[in-house]
Structure 1
């Protein structure tokens, strides 16, 4: 009779150890994913510039500014064979109507900056969601540099094709 209880205890112990290991791995995996994702979002949204802080506030409270569409961008990517390109349609949320007018005035330097930025990217850079978020942040920074301050709240991709 003692022999019958011994295997049951070992069996229960094995299940308890297995459940404990699974919980430990699941919790560790969740924590790593959560902190890694939070770190990636902090890099793309809270890089220290006031424009990014304004952008984060705009995302929380809804859109605060005027949305201005930019012309379509068709640019060759930094591909060794030169066969890849991107077609990108962008709309910019300006802080107010005056900034919308500035976007029209500085359209040539803004297009130039975005074209140079896009042509420096490879397909691998833009293939992931994180890569696209980084691109949005870089476009926002470049436009704000041209306009001389945190006047652009955020950038929206309305169409993106990479071939």
Structure 2
């Protein structure tokens, strides 16, 4: 009988092996399935909507091939201008503006005209930009207004509607 009691005690004293390992494996498999499900959901719902939008844009761009479609604007050519650094017209004169811009023109002939008139262009831009105060260039609305003023000024120099738009690629006020 003493032997039976000893065997029962040894059976009870031995801890269960693999209990923690079993839970760790279950958790890892569960995390792997959740990750795979998340990846599938992302690919299925989000990536396909982006591709669908790109396909829709491609068909919209390809659709106006009619000879009477005059509303279609061809992309212009971009001309990068040199970086301009000017003092702003603030009372203390301690602020300056550093701006780099690219000009979108309608055709290659306008590119040649812009290159030929570059001294006039730089002069006009320097005068325009140096007449601005910090308040004139601080907000987004004022920057958009400045872009329109630059387009107007360049079209005055080059002639009627040669410049479509101006893009600021660097705009630092200090």
| TM-score of the aligned structures, taking structure 1 as reference length | 0.61
Is it true that 1:68 corresponds to 2:79 in the alignment? Answer: yes
User: C-alpha root-mean-square deviation of aligned residues, in Å?
Assistant: 1.5
Does the residue aligned with 1:142 lie in a helix, a strand or coil?
Answer: helix
Answering whether residue 120 of structure 2 is matched by residue 103 of structure 1, we say no
Decide which structure has the larger Cα Rg and report it. 2
Per-residue Cα deviation, 1:73-103 (whole angstroms, up to 9, x for no partner): 0000001111000000010001001101111
Provide runs of 4+ in structure 1 moved above 2 Å. Answer: 60-63
Please state if 1:82 is matched with 2:89. Answer: no
Gaps of 5+ in 1: 1-59
Query: So what's the TM-score if we normalise by structure 2?
Result: 0.58
Equivalent residues in 2 for 1:13-162 (5 A)? 64-162=75-173
Higher relative contact order (CA 8 A, sep 6+): 1
CA distance in 2, matches of 1:152, 1:119: 22
Counterpart Cα distance in 2 of 1:86 and 1:61: 36
User: What is the aligned residue count?
Assistant: 104
5+ long unaligned stretches in structure 2: 1-70
* 1:148 Cα offset (Å): 1.3
